[in-house]
Amino acid sequence: MLVHFFMIPDPSRKYRAFPPVSLPDRQWPSRTLTHAPIWCSVDLRDGNQALAVPMNVSQKLELFDALVRCGFKEIEVGFPAASNTEFAFMRRLIEDGRIPSDVTVQVLVQAREDLIQRTVESLKGVNKAIIHLYNSTSPAQRRIVFGLEKPQIVEMARKGTRWIKERLPVLPGSDIRMEYSPESFSATEVEFSVEICQAVMDEWGPTPEHKIILNLPDTVEVAMPNVYADQIEWFCRHIKGRDSAIISVHTHNDRGTGTAATELALLAGADRVEGTLFGNGERTGNLDIVTVALNLYMHGIAPGLDFSNMSALRQVYERCTGMHVPPRQPYAGELVFTAFSGSHQDAIRKGLVEWQGKGEDAIWDIPYLTIDPSDLGREYREVIRVNSQSGKGGVAYLLESEFGIELPKDLQREFGPLANNAVDSLGREVSGTELKAMFWKEYVEQRHPLALRHFHADGVDGIFRCRASLERGGESLGVTGEGNGPIAAFVNALTTVGIPAFEVVDYRQAALGSGTEASAISFIQIRTNDGRLVWGAGVNTHIQLASIEGVVSALNRAGRSS
């Protein structure tokens, strides 16, 4: 029997929209972010539990050290009561003295007395720690998971808080802070969220000097991010003792709007953000802290986190978690600073030239690049890469940035389509080295039907005379000529052996490298007797010979295309 699965024509028969929060005088839409929040990495807990193969202790230690190097001052290191590995990791951090004095470790625990007892035992000897208590509060969780009414859920949170508070004396000398999460806050009635958080605050007794963290998670995205922002602002307005609480957010990405939800929540009054590197987490993932931090950075706000060596951080993350950072992941992906489109490449290239000419204090304003790749340890040569979608701008940029070959604009227009056709036939991206080889084959190595064997010129009173020997179709040719320069003399000489008349209309030259063995490259454009404009190129350690070889290259290409 076949079973058919398909989307129903009227989804309102099965699903319902999440009810909005009544907040007609909401303030968050008119606010602007001016500073970074408190950051808390949950890579070692939320991120770890989302892995098919959880990290072992050595992997967790390596990632912990990487998070410290990034500048995280609060790091949720695990759920010590969940397993021996989690407990052992907490003890290893403390006993080996691996926690810097300015870093607070955070441990997660449910509102169960036996789990709280084990968690407190794991913290003996710690300098600073946050005990993160949670229980779920949404109507579905209350009905399906717990089978309890609101007062019983509130009492569960009260008891958990009390059990933690009663055990603090066994941690003398430790600075212990409390965090409470009404898990599934995003799907909970805002009035009940305030009620249960107020009960926890009353039990714990925070002050403006010793604040409690109230973490309001978007555990499952059930609405648009503006609704979550309304929930946060409503909560901040109605909680008593707001100056004794740090409002934290922990967003997930079920609807693909975790970043937006976090940024709007910060506008709505949140002080703190929990998330993971590159968004690793259950289902569609946690908030990507890298994205939010660098979104602030690109607006001129110091994020308080250092991602100067993004590639190295990505390697540690991938090695420890077994996950892969997608190539188009904001800021961190391999291809996010890469343009293949010809028009994009041209705009980026011109923008970089303009910006580099303005000096160190110039404001970054480059088309298609919201942030300077070098700030993240990336290189400009990564920005423009060439495939079949690329144009003359990308081709010119690679040749210039990797080999110092600056093509004249008209030559860019001529070589660009030729290179594009060659790349298209390969069906893949090409490297700068491959692109240079294409240029050499098309221009520099054009030695048929004419090949230069010898050239000499000298001048007196502005008149140059040249002698040259060439090979044409296996036949040796000796020619002489004169003109107002070596190139003009060579052009004159060629007319004596039946080469159709032509005119040199453009001549450029540049050095390739430096030192006594450096080569020169010449770019020669000719106009044939039938009016066609054709480029040639020559390379030689002698500047004069490079220009003569450029003329021969142009003639050979003109004959090939006639």
Residue 253 is predicted with a pLDDT of: 95
* pLDDT beyond 90 at 441: yes
Radius of gyration (C-alpha) of the chain in whole angstroms: 34
pTM comes to 0.78
Instruction: Check: CB of residue 250 under 8 Å from CB of residue 181.
Output: yes
Q: Is the pLDDT of residue 561 over 60?
A: no
Q: How confident is the model at residue 516 (pLDDT cuts 50, 70, 90)?
A: low
pLDDT at 125: 97
Please give the average per-residue pLDDT across 412-439, as a whole number. 86
The mean pLDDT value for 393-413 works out to 85
Is residue 29, in this structure, part of any structural domain at all? no
pLDDT band at 428 (very low <50, low <70, confident <90, very high): confident
Q: Is residue 23 part of a domain?
A: no
Choose among 12, 20, 14, 11: nearest CA to 224. Answer: 20
Where does a domain end: 440, 458, 486?
440
User: Looking at the domain assignment, is residue 25 inside a domain?
Assistant: no
Residue 356 confidence class, pLDDT cut points 50, 70, 90: confident
Q: Looking at the structure, tell me whether residues 350 and 374 fall in a common domain.
A: yes
Distance CA 266, CA 251 (A): 12
Q: What is the pLDDT of residue 401?
A: 80
**CA–CA distance, 493 with 497 (Å, rounded to integer):** 8
Is-cis flag, bond preceding 449, omega within 30?
A: yes
pLDDT, residue 271, reads 98
Q: Which pLDDT band holds residue 1 (cuts at 50, 70, 90)?
A: low
Q: Among 384, 406, 440, identify where a domain stops.
A: 440
Determine the average pLDDT of the residues in 159-188.
Answer: 97
Banded model confidence at residue 2, pLDDT cuts 50, 70, 90: low
* Same structural domain, 504 and 357: no
- Claim to verify: residue 228 and residue 315 sit in the same structural domain: yes
262 in a structural domain: yes
Per DSSP bridges, beta strands 104-110 and 128-136 are parallel
> Is pLDDT of 292 > 70?
yes
- Residue 217 pLDDT: 97
The mean-pLDDT minimum among 41-45, 132-136, 319-323, 404-408 falls in 404-408
Note whether residue 14 is domain-resident.
Answer: no
> Tell me, what CATH number does 521's domain have?
3.30.160.270
Residue 555's domain spans which residues?
450-561
Mean pLDDT of 372-387: 78
Q: Which band of pLDDT confidence, cut at 50, 70 and 90, is reported for residue 3?
A: low
Residue 115 lies in a domain: yes
Residue 39 has a pLDDT of 98
The residue among 412, 388, 421, 411 whose CA lies nearest residue 525 is 411
Q: Based on the fold, state whether residues 250 and 286 are members of the same structural domain.
A: yes
Of 250, 252, 263, which is closest to residue 295 (Cα–Cα)?
263
Residue 514 has pLDDT above 80, yes or no: no
Across the range 186-213, mean pLDDT stands at 98
For residue 372, the one-letter residue type is: D
What pLDDT, on the 0 to 100 scale, is given for residue 391? 63
**Burial group, residue 12, by CB count within 10 angstroms (0-12, 13-18, 19+):** exposed
482 and 435 within one domain: no
Residues 72 and 217 in one domain: yes
**Number of domains comprising the chain:** 3
pLDDT of residue 390: 65
Among the ranges given (131-140, 418-427, 457-466), the one the predictor scored with the smallest mean pLDDT: 418-427
Q: Decide the pairing of beta strands 38-41 and 175-183.
A: unpaired
Q: Average per-residue pLDDT in the chain?
A: 92
Q: Quick check: helix, strand or coil at residue 62?
A: helix
Same-domain check for residues 384 and 422: yes
The domain boundary, picked from 415, 440, 465, lies at 440
492 and 358 inside one domain? no
- The average pLDDT across 95-110 equals 97
What's the rounded Cα separation, in Å, for the pair 398 and 384? 7
Confidence of residue 315 (pLDDT cuts 50, 70, 90): very high
Q: 246 and 203 in one domain?
A: yes
Nearest-angstrom CA–CA distance, 394 and 432:
10
- The answer to whether the beta carbons of residues 385 and 434 sit under 8 Å apart is no
Q: In 3D, which of 466, 470, 469 has the Cα closest to residue 449?
A: 470
Indicate whether 407 and 455 sit together in one domain.
no
pLDDT of residue 521 exceeding 90, the answer is: yes
Position 493 scores a pLDDT of: 94
Q: Quick one: pLDDT at residue 339? A: 77
- Which token pair is 341? 């489109």
Residue 271 shares a structural domain with residue 140:
yes
CATH of the domain at 99: 3.20.20.70
- Integer CA distances (angstroms), 181 to 133, 137, 213, in order: 6, 9, 8
- 298 and 406 in a single domain? The answer is no
**Residue 218 lies inside a defined structural domain of this protein:** yes
Residue 7 lies in a domain: no
